[in-house]
Amino acid sequence: MKYLLTGVAAIAMLTACGDKDKPVKEAGAEYASSAGTDVKLRKGDPATAGQVLSVLSLDSSESGRIAFGSSKLDGAKAVFTDVTLKAAESDDEDALDGTDVKAGKLEFEGLGMIDGKANFSRMVMSDITMTAADPEESADGSGAIKSIELVNPSPEVAAWVASLFGEGEPIDMPEGDALSFDLWSMNGLDFKVDDEDGSKGNFLINNVSVTGLKDQKAAQMLLKDMTFDMYDPSEDMDMKANIGNIDIRGFDWGMFMPEEGEKLEDSFESGFMAGLNPKDPANPGYDSIDIKDFDVDMSGVTFDMPKMVSKVSKDKKGRAVKVTTEPVKMTLTAGEGKLGEQLGAQLAMLGYEKLELTMAGEQTYDPDADIVTLAKGKNYWELKDGFRLDFGAKYAGAAGMAESQAAEMDSGTQDPSAMFDAMMEKLTIHSFEMALDDDGIVDRAFNAYAAQSGEDPQQVRNQMAGMMAMLPMMASGSGIDMELATEASTALSSFITDPKTLTISLKPKTPLKVSTLAEMEDPSALTKESLGFSATNK
């Protein structure tokens, strides 16, 4: 496993992905187009091509960390064969010490000095292999990449590539607008693991690419045909995964770029945690996502998702006003294997051989009124032979919530409780509805509980229904509106006894601030009439 991680790190070093400690702020976005796959190469300058090769430590073999067998310069083009790239010496645990990276060919087009800075329009490294220099570690696995391509990089990215080839420590990878190019791609990735501790595996990717990275937004991010097969002897578990296609359009790279001193993987976590943009709170960070043929098998637990499609609609100002996720079908199956047997036993208690789930979502946003609407009937979770949960809502304050969240994170305290309170202060509910349509889940749940406890299912059901019926009496001294409590308990008791569709809705006469609700000491003002409360089982 250690070798596999080293191989992935090698890819990162070669392809504009890696940890960064110091941000580079200079602009470079003008050097990238926003086109998808329609990429045109910049013209080079034959008169200064030699200067660029010198900056890249390619003017002679072994002038930097890179060595080659033969070379040819033709105008603004250059070709090198039998290339070897040695990693820089470093005390960093994640460095590529002891890893030999070799390529059959390294090609450049469009070489030239642009505004006094060395650059190129296209770099292709092909027939790449990665092996550990230590013979003992080289037996642990191998890595190969058919080709790596970089097109029309910004001067800052080109300088970063040059630092990988030259002597000394590589410079930090550019970020912000300086991280810009028209195309970066890898084809034919093949990593094998065969550690002496018994870990074995194979990792294959047909193609991964990013196109049109400009102004911290990528026109397209694409992953095609990924296969992962790994065995971990310490847990005695195997894992297999396949992805046919992941196609992300309009990815907002700026939301997830690392801050100073932050690692790339941590930046994605903090990016998701940072959440909404106050100026564009409905924007999820992409224009569309299309995932196809995704399946995972972890020691007998199989998850399958044939397709997932999510799209974002924007207004004339570029603000997200609608996010739609088409119905997504997911299947969880228990088969042979350590985890599969455990899951199979749990599913059997509920009377299932597998779980078949479907979900969909549609959210609209009015940026001028700052109101989010979840349309009834278009937001749901459904379990075959179990239930369907529909929900709808209308609430205000998304922009204010985002501002409060950002302020709390910028304060440095990042107290989850304080952040939550600050966000809830801005949230105002206009309406809410939840409908739970039973399709056997209630019977299955009571039967499973009774089987574990040794009780009669009907007796358990009657006891639970009786407890629900007693809720008004239990709440009589609390100040809670009796009409509201009675309607709620009647619906819940009826649903347990004869489950149909349990619907609970709120439509207050005056939009309800969540903070007011949380701070309210006397609940008597929250009546069925003022809340527009309704609860039924029909």
Our measurement of the distance from residue 465's CA atom to the centroid of its chain's CA atoms, rounded to an integer in Å, reads 42
- Tell me whether residue 22 is in a domain: yes
Look up residue 262 and give its two tokens.
């932050």
Q: Are 492 and 499 in contact (CB under 8 A)?
A: no
| Tens-place pLDDT, residues 220-267 | 999 999 999 998 888 888 999 999 999 999 999 877 665 555 554 444
Residue 169 lies in a domain: yes
- Strands 428-438 and 512-513 turn out to be antiparallel
Q: What stretch of H or E contains 136?
A: helix 135-138
Which of 168-182, 227-241, 277-291, 292-306 ranks highest by mean pLDDT? 292-306
Which of 257, 274, 291 corresponds to the end of one domain? 274
User: Is residue 343 a part of any domain in this protein?
Assistant: no
Q: Which of 226, 241, 274 is the last residue of a domain?
A: 274
The string of pLDDT tens digits covering residues 12-51 is 444 433 333 333 333 333 344 444 456 789 999 999 999 9
Q: How far apart are CA 353 and CA 519, in angstroms?
A: 46
In angstroms, rounded to a whole number, what is the distance separating the alpha carbons of residues 103 and 503? 64
Reference 284, options 292, 293, 272, 296; nearest CA is: 272
Mean pLDDT computed over 370-380: 95
Nearest CA-CA partner of 19 in 111, 113, 94:
94
Residue 220 lies in a domain: yes
Write out the two tokens for 153: 């990089």
DSSP 281: T
Q: Classify residue 507: in a domain, yes or no.
A: yes
Assess whether pLDDT exceeds 50 at residue 321: yes
Q: Which of 228, 248, 274 is the last residue of a domain?
A: 274
Q: Give the C-alpha separation, 511 to 529, whole Å.
A: 13
H helices of 350-426, in order, are 398-410, 416-424
Please tell me the predicted confidence (pLDDT) of residue 8: 43
Q: Are 75 and 46 in contact (CB under 8 A)?
A: yes
Examine residue 392 and state whether it is found in any structural domain, yes or no. no
**Which amino acid is present at 80?**
F
Q: Write the pLDDT tens digit of every residue in 395-444.
A: 999 998 888 877 777 776 667 777 777 788 889 999 999 999 999 999 99
Q: Which of 505, 276, 282 is nearest to 372 (CA)?
A: 282
What domain range includes position 484?
A: 430-537
In angstroms, rounded to a whole number, what is the distance separating the alpha carbons of residues 443 and 349? Answer: 12
Contacts of 263 (CB under 8 A, 6+ apart): 19
DSSP string, 94-111: TS-TTEEEEEEEEEEES-
Mean pLDDT across 487-502: 96
More confident residue, 30 or 513: 513
Dist. CA 172–CA 19, nearest whole Å: 8
Domain count, the chain: 2
**Within the chain, what is the greatest distance between any pair of CA atoms?**
91
C-alpha 411: how far from its chain's center?
Answer: 26
Task: Tell me the whole-structure pTM to 2 decimals.
Answer: 0.85
Give the pLDDT confidence score for residue 10 in this predicted structure: 41
Helix axes 416-424, 398-410, angle to 10 degrees: 150
The mean pLDDT value for 351-373 works out to 96
- 425 falls within a domain: no
In a domain, 382, yes or no: no
